[in-house]
A and B are shown apart, each in its own frame.
Chain A
Amino acid sequence: MSAVTETTYTPETSVGRITNFVDERVGGSGILREFGRKVFPDHWSFMFGEVALYSFVILLLSGTFLTFFFDPSMAETHYNGSFVPLKGVEMSVAYNSSLNISFDIRGGLFMRQVHHWAALLFVASVSVHMLRVFFTGAFRKPREMNWVVGGVLVILSMAAGFTGYSLPDDLLSGNGLRIIDGVIKSIPIIGTYISFFLFGGEFPGTHIIGRLFTLHILLIPAVILLMIAIHLFMVVVHKHTQYPGPGRNDHNVVGYPLGPVYAAKAGGFFFIVFGVVAFMAAAFTINPIWNYGPYDPSPVSAGTQPDWYIGWVDGALRLMPGWLFGFPLEWHIPFPWGVNTLTLNVLLPALVPAGIVFTVLFTYPWLERWITRDNREHHVLDRPRNAPTRTAIGMAGFVFYCVLWAAASSDLIATHFFVSLNDVTYWLRGLFFLGPILAFIATKRIALALQRKDREIALHGRETGRIVRLPHGEFIEVHAQLDDYKRYKLVGFESPEPMPGIPNSKGIVTKSEKRRAALSRFFFEDRVAPATPAELEAGHGHAEHEAIDPANHDAKSISH
Chain B
Amino acid sequence: MGDHGDGHSEQGAVAKAGQSVAEKFQDPGIPPHRPRLADKDPRAAKRAERQVAILFGISVLGTLLFFWAYFGVRLDQTVATLRLQNLLLGLGTGFAMLGIGTGIVHWAKALMPDHEVSEERHEIRSEADRVAAVKIVDEILDETGIKRRPLIRNTLIGAVALAPLPAIAMFRDLGPLPANALSHTMWKEGTRLVHDPTGTPIKASDVTIGSAFHVIPDGLNEMTEGKLEAKAKAVVLLMRLNPELLHPSAGREDWSHDGIVAYSKICTHVGCPVALYEQQTHHLLCPCHQSTFDLTQECKVIFGPANRPLPQLPIKIDSEGYLVAQSDFHEPVGPSFWERS
Q: What A residues does B334 contact at CB under 8 A? A: 182
The answer on a CB contact under 8 Å between A340 and B339 is yes
B311 interfacial contact with A, CB 8 Å: no
Q: What B residues does A181 contact at CB under 8 A? A: 270-271, 335
A246 interfacial contact with B, CB 8 Å: yes
Contact with B along A270-283 (1 / 0, CB 8 A): 11111110110111
The answer on a CB contact under 8 Å between A341 and B18 is no
The answer on a CB contact under 8 Å between B89 and A261 is no
- Scoring B9, B117, B124, B181 by chain A CB atoms within 10 A of each residue's CB, the highest score goes to B117
Q: What A residues does B275 contact at CB under 8 A? A: 299-300, 302
Chain A: CB-nearest residue to B233: A202
Cα-based distance from A530 to B303 in the complex (angstroms): 53
Contact with A along B80-98 (1 / 0, CB 8 A): 0010011111110111111
The answer on a CB contact under 8 Å between A186 and B177 is no
Across the interface, A199 reaches (CB within 8 A) one of B70, B101, B175, namely: B175
The answer on a CB contact under 8 Å between B108 and A254 is no
Contact with A along B1-42 (1 / 0, CB 8 A): 110101011110111011100011101111100000000000
Q: How far, in Å, is A188 (CB) from chain B's closest CB?
A: 5
Cα-based distance from A342 to B340 in the complex (angstroms): 9
CB within 8 Å of B: which A262-307 residues: 264-265, 267-276, 278-279, 281-283, 295-304
- A110 with B27, Cβ < 8 A, contacts A304-B288, A330-B308 known: no
The answer on a CB contact under 8 Å between B97 and A499 is no
The stretch from B200-208, B224-232, B249-257, B321-329 touching chain A is: B224-232
Number of interface residues of B (CB under 8 A): 109
Cα-based distance from A275 to B276 in the complex (angstroms): 42
B301 interfacial contact with A, CB 8 Å: yes
Chain B: CB-nearest residue to A484: B28
The answer on a CB contact under 8 Å between A298 and B196 is yes
The answer on a CB contact under 8 Å between B18 and A297 is no
B174 interfacial contact with A, CB 8 Å: yes
Chain A: CB-nearest residue to B341: A339
Q: How far, in Å, is B64 (CB) from chain A's closest CB?
A: 15
Chain A: CB-nearest residue to B122: A239
B182 interfacial contact with A, CB 8 Å: yes
Across the interface, B25 reaches (CB within 8 A) one of A254, A264, A299, A491, namely: A491
B129 interfacial contact with A, CB 8 Å: no
The answer on a CB contact under 8 Å between A186 and B337 is yes
- A82 with B75, Cβ < 8 A, contacts A323-B307, A345-B307 known: yes
Chain B: CB-nearest residue to A112: B86
CB within 8 Å of A: which B267-293 residues: 269-273, 275-276, 287-291
Can you list 14 A-B contacts (CB < 8 A)? A109-B82, A185-B338, A189-B338, A247-B28, A249-B1, A254-B116, A255-B116, A272-B102, A278-B91, A296-B197, A322-B301, A338-B341, A376-B14, A488-B27
Interface residues of A (CB under 8 A from B): 38-39, 82-84, 102-103, 106-107, 109-110, 113-114, 142, 175, 178-179, 181-183, 185-193, 195-205, 207, 237-239, 244, 246-257, 260-261, 264-265, 267-276, 278-279, 281-283, 295-304, 314, 317-323, 328-330, 332, 338-343, 345-346, 349, 372-377, 379-380, 410-411, 421-422, 425, 484-485, 487-488, 491-492, 494-497, 499, 502, 529-534
Q: Please name 14 further chain A to chain B contacts, defined as beta carbons within 8 Å, in addition to the given A199-B175, A247-B30, sorted by A numbering.
A: A109-B82, A110-B85, A179-B270, A181-B271, A197-B175, A250-B121, A251-B120, A274-B97, A282-B94, A297-B266, A297-B273, A322-B269, A323-B307, A492-B27
